[in-house]
């Protein structure tokens, strides 16, 4: 949890639940892309996500909220792509 600079509050429920969503997504990305499972690579993927939504300068709670929202959107997009592919709309 120190990746977001929230070690001292990382075990509280709302934060730990949101962090769990982020952690699971990043670990899934690492596995899907064949990346080494290192803290440095984890941090790199997190930085890419934060750069995409511009959340680096927000407070911890807002950062987590935006990251979880982005991950939800990405998951929905991936699900729709899979469904489109399944039904022949994508090659």
Supply the DSSP symbol for 90: -
pLDDT tens digits along 16-36: 888 889 999 999 999 999 999
Q: Is 25 exposed, middle or buried (0-12, 13-18, 19+ CB in 10 A)?
A: buried
Domain contains 2: no
The pLDDT-based confidence of 9 (bands split at 50, 70, 90) is: very low
Q: What's the confidence (pLDDT) of residue 31?
A: 95
Indicate the pTM of the whole model: 0.75
Domain contains 4: no
Average confidence (pLDDT) over 67-80: 94
Domain contains 91: no
Domain contains 53: yes
20: CB partners within 8 A, 6+ apart: none
- Number of structural domains, the chain? 1
pLDDT tens digits along 37-69: 999 999 999 999 999 999 888 988 899 999 999
Domain contains 71: yes
Domain that holds residue 26: 10-86
């Amino acid at each position: 949890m120190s990746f977001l600079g929230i070690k001292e509050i990382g075990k509280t429920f709302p934060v730990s639940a949101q962090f769990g969503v982020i952690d699971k997504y990043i670990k899934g990305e690492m596995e899907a892309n064949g990346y080494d499972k290192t803290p440095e690579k984890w941090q790199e993927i997190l930085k890419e996500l934060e750069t995409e939504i511009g959340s680096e300068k927000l407070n911890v709670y807002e950062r987590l909220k935006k990251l979880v929202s982005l991950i939800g959107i990405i998951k929905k997009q991936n699900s729709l792509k899979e469904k489109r592919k399944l039904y022949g709309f994508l090659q």
